[in-house]
Structure 1
Amino acid sequence: MQNPSALYRFETDADLDVPRPGVLVVALGAFIDAGHIQQVLGGHLLETGDPEVVASFDVDQLLDYRGRRPAMVFDTNRWVEYEDPAMLLHRLTDRDGQTYYLLSGPEPDYQWERVVEAVRELVVRLGITLVVHTHGIPMAVPHTRPVGMTAHATDASLIGDAASPFGRVQVPGSIGALLELRLGEAGHQAVGFAIHVPHYLAGSEWAEGALASLNAIVDVTGLNLPNDHLVTLARANQQAIAAEVDQNDEAGQVVRALEQQYDAFVEGQQRPSLLATEASQIPSADELGADFENFLRTVADDDTDRS
């Protein structure tokens, strides 16, 4: 492995001589992030936490630019703007003045083990006490019921009696999952939350899920993080979704079927997971996607107009 320390550099305006330990929230993307949970949550934290950049990573070594080309702006007869990707470690403060950190940016395409070791070095150097990762996964659940999540950690005491709808499964890897695994192997504490996002909202920004993610981080870390903006955004988001469902008979039928399934599960039906149900009770993910194509496009457009 090449030297992990060469992947990042400390910024000159960040005072690292005075120890300021805290929690590290990781938002580096994943194989899937239904509801854009990381994007909404990360943006909220940066807007409310008075951030300063502590370290930056050399993304030229980590990204496949041809696989996901950065946007550029052409104006009449010349190039005027380039949205250069950045992987940054920010230092922020909560409402009580407590320090915490946010690592955000695109998920690296290359050198995952080296990136993980570089983050571990930063964890040690900065005195990080806990690493937290969160993202969204699509589930057959309705938006009208409490938001569910799957919690996982290097130490079971971090998540208490949190129940999981899954058993032992194999899924595509992500940098956040690998980071949690390697940190646990090295004796560091890390915890993650997979927010259960309704299938039909997987492609839209779902503020309700981001709010649930924020609350989970507050519960496990004790940080006093502001939530006013997310509460307002979630309320508007829910109202827009409700209005669209009311105007779409097929959407309403699917949501009602999901509600019946969810309520039956809560009432005590013995199923191994929320996904284990009769095929006739609920459309498949493909059917949901086909039925809701126009519906999703409208909701996404509404979210864009409000942002």
Structure 2
Amino acid sequence: MQDPASLYRLETDTAIGDLSAPTLLVALGGYLDAGHTQRLLTEHLLATLDHTVVATFDLDQLIDYRARRPMMTFAQDHWVDYADPALILYRLIDDAGSPFLLLTGPEPDYQWERLVESVLTLIKALQVELTVTVHGIPMAVPHTRPISATVHATVPELRSGTPVFGTISLPGSLAALLELRLGELGRRAVGYAVHVPHYLAQADHPAAALYGLGCAREVAGLDLPDAGLHLAVADSEHAIAAELASSADAAEIVAALERQYDARHQPADQDVPIDEAELPSADQLGAELEAFLRDVGRGN
């Protein structure tokens, strides 16, 4: 393996020891982010919190430009702009004055193990104690019920909730590989796969981003603003309500999901008849997710 440290360049004159932060949030745009959960959360943090660039990565070594061509702007008779892809490590300051790190940019196509090693080098140098990921996954749930997430972590104390899935095989991601390697090193890492209604998977779903923000805030003890996301959630709810009002078929789909959700989450002391045949098992949910990922993968 080539030197992992040569993949990045520090973009500050400040000594790296003075840039330490206990938490790293990883947001690498990959093929799966239902409801654009990760993108909305990342854009919100960068728009609302003070931040500086700590390091940039050499994407020329990591990206297949022909597989996902960057956009360029042509004006009448000449080229005027190029959307240069960038993988950047930011240092942000929360509302209480506490620092944390954000690694964001397109998920690289090449040299995953080398990039993971370079990120691990920075984690050690910046004294990161906890690495956090948040993204959305499509689920057969209605938008009218409380949001939840599948939590995965390298240590038992960071895991919570009842597992939804059994054991399944999924296409990998760089963020997942980083979490795996951190676990092998005995380091703390946690990920939140926020459950997004499958009928909203391709649209912006700010409610999922708001939920993910709350997860990151709680696990890392950060004071993260959320007013902007609350406004976006209100606008989104109005738009969804208008769409359902104009489509009886869509309204019935949501109503069926509500009945299924309520049946699965009824209190144990309530004697409500349930048709167990209508309730998906963990294996069925896993099979549906695997099929969705295969379809998405064909598009990349």
Same-fold status (TM-score > 0.5): yes
Q: Is the 8 A contact 1:140 1:274 kept in 2?
A: no
How many angstroms does 1:276 deviate by?
Answer: 2.9
Equivalence map 1:160-175=2 (5 Å): 161-175=160-174
Counterpart of 1:29?
A: 29
C-alpha separation in 2, matches of 1:70 and 1:15: 34
C-alpha separation in 1, matches of 2:66 and 2:47: 30
C-alpha separation in 1, matches of 2:186 and 2:277: 32
Letter in 2 for 1:111: Q
C-alpha separation in 2, matches of 1:126 and 1:13: 15
Gaps of 5+ in 1: 286-307
* CA-to-aligned-CA distance 1:107-133 (integer Å, 9 cap, x gap): 010111111111100000001110001
Q: Is the 8 A contact 1:166 1:272 kept in 2?
A: no
C-alpha separation in 2, matches of 1:274 and 1:111: 42
Counterpart of 1:223?
A: 222
C-alpha separation in 1, matches of 2:229 and 2:19: 31
Counterpart of 1:188?
A: 187
Equivalence map 1:1-307=2 (5 Å): 1-159=1-159, 161-267=160-266, 275-276=280-281
Number of positions where the alignment pairs a residue of Structure 1 with one of Structure 2: 280
How many angstroms does 1:219 deviate by?
Answer: 1.2
Letter in 2 for 1:45: L
How many angstroms does 1:273 deviate by?
Answer: 11
* CA-to-aligned-CA distance 1:187-232 (integer Å, 9 cap, x gap): 2110000000111100011000000000011111110100010011
Q: What fraction of aligned residue pairs are identical, expressed as a percent?
A: 49
* CA-to-aligned-CA distance 1:9-32 (integer Å, 9 cap, x gap): 100355524253220000002331
Q: Is the 8 A contact 2:17 2:125 kept in 1?
A: no
Give the direction of change, closer, same or farther, for the CA distance of 1:101–1:273 in structure 2 (3 Å limit). Answer: farther
Q: Please report the RMSD computed on the Cα atoms of aligned residues, expressed in angstroms.
A: 2.2
Counterpart of 1:303?
A: none
* CA-to-aligned-CA distance 1:28-58 (integer Å, 9 cap, x gap): 0233111111110000111112110000000
How many angstroms does 1:2 deviate by?
Answer: 1.1
Look up the SS of the partner of 1:128 in the other structure.
coil
C-alpha separation in 1, matches of 2:31 and 2:255: 29
Q: Is the 8 A contact 1:14 1:53 kept in 2?
A: no
C-alpha separation in 2, matches of 1:2 and 1:201: 42
C-alpha separation in 1, matches of 2:78 and 2:255: 53
Q: Is the 8 A contact 1:139 1:275 kept in 2?
A: no
C-alpha separation in 1, matches of 2:75 and 2:119: 39
Q: Is the 8 A contact 2:8 2:118 kept in 1?
A: yes
How many angstroms does 1:242 deviate by?
Answer: 1.1
C-alpha separation in 2, matches of 1:272 and 1:4: 52
How many angstroms does 1:136 deviate by?
Answer: 0.6
The alignment's TM-score, normalised by the length of structure 1, stands at 0.87
Look up the SS of the partner of 1:90 in the other structure.
strand
Counterpart of 1:288?
A: none
Q: Is the 8 A contact 2:62 2:109 kept in 1?
A: yes
Q: Is the 8 A contact 2:12 2:53 kept in 1?
A: no
Look up the SS of the partner of 1:70 in the other structure.
coil
Give the direction of change, closer, same or farther, for the CA distance of 1:39–1:272 in structure 2 (3 Å limit). Answer: farther
Q: Is the 8 A contact 2:16 2:125 kept in 1?
A: no
Look up the SS of the partner of 1:183 in the other structure.
helix
Look up the SS of the partner of 1:37 in the other structure.
helix
The alignment's TM-score, normalised by the length of structure 2, stands at 0.89
Q: Is the 8 A contact 2:17 2:126 kept in 1?
A: no
How many angstroms does 1:272 deviate by?
Answer: 12
Q: Is the 8 A contact 2:28 2:175 kept in 1?
A: yes
Gaps of 5+ in 2: 269-273, 290-300
How many angstroms does 1:60 deviate by?
Answer: 0.5
Q: Is the 8 A contact 1:24 1:101 kept in 2?
A: yes
Give the direction of change, closer, same or farther, for the CA distance of 1:15–1:146 in structure 2 (3 Å limit). Answer: same
Letter in 2 for 1:89: L
Give the direction of change, closer, same or farther, for the CA distance of 1:38–1:168 in structure 2 (3 Å limit). Answer: same
